[in-house]
Structures are given as C-alpha cells and as structure tokens.
C-alpha cells in the first residue's frame, strides 16, 4: 500500500489495514462480517481499504470479537521513508 494522499503532510507514517487478510484466514466473507457487526458493506469496505479517517472503538471491538483477534492483528504502523 502506498502513502495515502489524503493524509496531512509531515506525518511520520501510515496505518496499514490487514482486515482482508484476517477475513481470508477466518474464511469469513465481507458481507457476513458486516452483518455480524452491524455496519454496511460499504462502511466495511472503507475500513478494509483504509479510506477512513478513524474508527470507533465500538466498531473495533465488534470486529475483534467477530474475528477472534486483537487490534494489533488488524492494523500496522508503517514508517514512511524520509
């Protein structure tokens, strides 16, 4: 994934979302997860692609519960080159 052009300049890194990897490992379809956590497929797609500005803790908790994972498995901080 490349640097998000919507991020303010000067940030030291970016957040990489691994939700698609976890879905594949758990053999769960996006629609199924969206239904289980009570969000639209479009909202889940925005989370998967990192096209969101933030995520509510309640949504994060629901995802972690549904996929039996930790937040650190969903997200990774990647430092940008200088």
| pTM, rounded to two decimals | 0.84
Q: Pick left, alpha or beta for residue 6 (phi over 0 → left; psi -120 to 50 → alpha; otherwise beta).
A: alpha
Between 3.30.530.20, 1.10.3720.10, 3.40.50.720, 1.10.260.40, what CATH number should domain 14-68 receive? 1.10.260.40
Q: Are 35 and 66 in contact (CB under 8 A)?
A: no
Instruction: Specify the pLDDT at position 5.
Output: 60
| Residue in 61, 24, 21, 20 with CA at minimum distance from that of residue 39 | 61
Res 1: pLDDT: 36
**Total length of the chain:** 82
- Those residues of the chain that have pLDDT short of 70 are 1-7
Residue 2: what pLDDT? 39
List the chain domain ranges: 14-68
What is the rounded CA–CA span in Å between residue 53 and residue 48? 12
């Amino acid at each position: 994934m490349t640097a998000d052009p919507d991020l303010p300049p000067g940030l030291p890194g970016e957040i990489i979302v691994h939700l698609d990897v976890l879905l594949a490992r758990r053999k769960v379809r996006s629609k199924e997860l969206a239904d289980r956590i009570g969000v639209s497929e479009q909202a889940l797609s925005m989370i998967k692609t990192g096209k969101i500005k933030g995520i509510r803790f309640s949504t994060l908790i629901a995802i972690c519960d549904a996929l039996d994972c930790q937040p650190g498995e969903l997200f990774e901080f990647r430092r940008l080159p200088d």
